Amino acid sequence: MDNPIGIFDSGIGGLSILEKLKELLPNENMVYLADNLNCPYGSKSKNEILSLSIKNCKKLSEFNCKVIIVACNTATTNSIKRLRETIQVPIIGVEPGLKPAIMQTETKNIGVLATEKTLESKLFNNTLNENTLNNVKIHEQIGFKLVKMLEGGNNSKKDFNKILKLYLIPMINKNIDYLVLGCTHYHYLIDVIKNIIPENIRIVDTISPINQHIYNTLKSKNILNKGGKKRNIEIFFNGKRLANKYLDKEYNLNYLNF
Ligand code: DGL
């Protein structure tokens, strides 16, 4: 089936998922919406996040997408249930990897870096309550400013280092051994984060598990593209420009009003 896979995020964050997905699924056509006009989602109300997510899914449905990937933890944790009730296409979301961290921690302390609305969401807190063992402590931190800085594309590693130290050092002092990255944008900060945290702290990023899940879903629904034609990856943004540091040459990048 050569209908594209639809993907959306508030900006470049979901490209970290697409980057791996395009290698895992080399035949698949893809349409990616970067809703950077409305970025960041993380400080918006639940209703705003829901209506932006519905708008994005409707636009992706116009491209006849066979599946929609919500490549944004904030949109997933605040809207996935309603999206599945509203949109007629299978929807896959991404959530912070709490479960593996809780299952594997030895120090019984876990750090979670995510957006304000992800940390506040019902889905995040339900997952937390369902998986937390009595003796495991979760140390949450909102990644204030990080998404905006990444979207702007003008900040140096030094700038990120300065701000991330403020977020991570208190967690390190709590003796965490797992750091859950609960925002797809933060994938681009892994190098800087690794320079701050000691080696014994493992980073839980959900890029690989979500991609495996997408592959398994397409396979089980028998909707993988088996055709041998050269595939097409379209990236659309609706803001002034898209920070191009993270864009591969393979992508067709265009402005779209959505
Ligand atoms: N990439 C989104 C996420 O995973 C970014 C959130 C935002 O726009 O604030 O949560």
CATH (domain of 180): 3.40.50.1860
Last residue of a domain, one of 206, 224, 247: 206
Same domain, 251 and 174: no
| pLDDT score at 229 | 85
Instruction: Answer with the one of 165, 191, 206 that is the final residue of a domain.
Output: 206
> Does the annotation count 39 as an active-site position?
no
Q: Is 257 exposed, middle or buried (0-12, 13-18, 19+ CB in 10 A)?
A: exposed
- What per-residue confidence (pLDDT) applies to 69? 98
Q: Looking at residue 183, what is its pLDDT?
A: 98
Q: How many domains does the chain have?
A: 2
Whether residues 87 and 130 fall in one domain: no
| One domain, residues 213 and 170 | no
Q: Are residues 174 and 200 in the same domain?
A: yes
Same domain, yes or no, for 189 and 118?
Answer: yes
Q: Which of 18, 52, 74 to mutate to test the pocket of ligand 1 (most atoms within 8 A of CB)?
A: 74
Residue 230 is encoded by which pair of tokens? 């050269």
d(CA 43, ligand 1 centre) in Å: 9
217 and 234 together in one domain: yes
Residue 250 structural domain: 5-94+208-255
On whether both 117 and 201 belong to a single domain, the answer is: yes
Mean pLDDT by 10 residues, the chain (258 residues): 96 96 96 98 97 98 98 98 96 96 95 98 93 87 97 95 98 98 97 98 95 96 89 96 82 95
pLDDT of residue 135: 87
Residues 201 and 231 in one domain: no
CA of 10 to the centre of ligand 1 (A): 6
Residue nearest to atom 2 of ligand 1 (CA): 72
149 and 114 together in one domain: yes
Matching residue, tokens 């067709």: 252
Examine the domain organization and report whether 251 and 157 are in the same domain: no
Among 15, 45, 147, 242, name the best residue to mutate to test ligand 1's pocket (greatest count of ligand atoms within 8 A of Cβ).
147
Q: List the 251-255 sheet strands across, edge first.
A: 91-93, 67-70, 5-9, 30-34, 233-237, 251-255
202 and 118 in a common domain: yes
Same domain, 76 and 130: no
